[in-house]
Amino acid sequence: MTRTPILTTTLGTLTLKNPFILASAPPTASVDGIRRGFHAGWGGAVVKTIHADGMDVKDVSPRFSAWKGTGGELLGFENMELLSKKSVSYWESGIAALKEEYPDHILIASIMGDTDPASWQDLAVRVQDAGCDAIELNVSCPHGMPEAGVGAAIGQNPPLVERLTRDVVRVATVPVFVKMTPNITDITLPARAAACGGAAGISAINSVQSIFGVDIESFEPQPSVGGQGTHGGYSGPAIKPIGLEKVAAIARAVPLPVMGIGGISRWEDAAEYLLLGASAVQVCTAVMWNGYGIVQEMNTGLLRYLEKKGFRSPDELQGAALPRLVSHQSLDRKDRIRPVLGLPEACNGCGRCVIACRDGGYDAIRLREKRLVFNPAACDGCGLCIKVCPAGALAAERYRV
């Protein structure tokens, strides 16, 4: 008899009630926020990055931009927000209080010192003495902090990543995770450096460096702060493909647990990260948009999925898709697809597929009296027509040559 699946998840030496963790961001900017998140059902939380009290952190206003769909749904999100506004002592007492109230939840302290490794070591000792379960080194913030020589300025320099990781691990008594920046050509280099420095795990990815847009009337970059702007960090559903690729690359490169981050808003997104090698996932933007309560549907959906697939826990999903991820040259050229009318009643003769195939494909479709006519000899099997069909009328028929 198949046992009923559970959501208990292994993250290195840590055990989570479920694989869903609140990322270091506005949702974890206060003790009360984390408390409400735990009450809602999150398995863990990463405290918004704690910094030395002497570091000047002052946010601009406004600092967010959003790309929304026609129904108001979030597609992409940019922020220029900096680190925690709370003092180290606030977090010391807050971590202790949260661990007393929620001993079975994993609490990770994100820290960022200055250019002196001793400042990182001091923070590490203080947060672990307060009772945190693990430490996350923020060497990946894409805006503001790199100008001060930290954040992504460290994360883009593998020798610095290794050195800093080793310095912190030397004084740490809890697992140390290192958070990677995607703003680098080969993310496996800093991941390997962190592993060489003694890291217990990797977090990936931080937000993607971006310029959200420009007001073409005023010429002001968005978001505009007094008529001026700067680059920020891009997140939300739009960056999930980037996060998935980076996590898969890291999972293959280093024998360490990975916390997947980037564009996760549904349980299906989390499952994809797990299948590509993540041990757990962190969520930020979706919580900012929809609230802590989204984790309830994530937990329910993932549990049902595990039961459907016959898995006993999220641990059994980890890396299951990696063997199917191969080089481009290894892909089968004899396996082909061609478009067919899967739902003829849904086709309204709009001609979108015809235009797409003519101007962006191989001119293999005609529209005659609002009926589609396919030319198999001209079709190259690219699948563009299927993707652009607004009614979902076209389907892919597989065949071999």
Average pLDDT, the chain: 97
| Torsional sign, CA 141, 280, 236, 327 | positive
- Which tens digit of pLDDT belongs to each residue from 285-310? 999 999 999 999 999 999 999 999 99
Q: What is the reported pLDDT for 3?
A: 76
**What residues does each domain of the chain span?**
9-324, 328-400
pLDDT confidence of residue 56: 83
Q: What per-residue confidence (pLDDT) applies to 2? A: 58
**Integer Cα distance of 133 and 116 in angstroms:** 24
pLDDT tens string 128-172: 999 999 999 999 999 999 988 999 999 999 999 999 999 999 999
Catalytic residue, chosen from 132, 141, 353, 389, is: 141
Q: 240-279: per-residue pLDDT in tens?
A: 999 999 999 999 999 999 999 999 999 999 999 999 999 9
Tens of pLDDT, residue by residue over 199-217, are 999 999 999 999 999 999 9
Query: Would you state the pLDDT for residue 212?
Result: 96
pLDDT digits (tens, 9 = 90+) for 313-339: 999 999 999 999 999 999 999 999 999
For 143-186, give the DSSP string: SSGGGGT-THHHHT-HHHHHHHHHHHHHH-SS-EEEEPPSSSS-
Which listed CATH number (3.40.50.970, 3.20.20.70, 3.40.50.1480, 3.30.70.20) goes with 328-400?
3.30.70.20
Q: Which residues of 368-389 are buried (b: 16+ CB within 10 A; e: fewer)?
A: eeeebebeeeebebbebbbebb
**Which pLDDT tens digit goes with each residue over 350-384?**
999 999 999 999 999 999 988 999 999 999 999 99
* Model pLDDT, residue 54: 86
From residue 35, alpha-carbon distances to 32, 92, 98, 222, 401 in Å are: 5, 15, 7, 33, 58
Domains 9-324 and 328-400 share a fold: no
- What angle separates helix 158-171 from helix 188-196, to the nearest 10 degrees? 30
Quote the pLDDT of residue 249. Answer: 98
Residue 357: active-site member: no
Topology at the third CATH level for domain 9-324: TIM Barrel (3.20.20)
Single pTM value for the model: 0.96
CA distances from 315 to 41, 182, 251, 271, 397 (A): 19, 25, 14, 11, 34
- pLDDT at position 1, please? 46
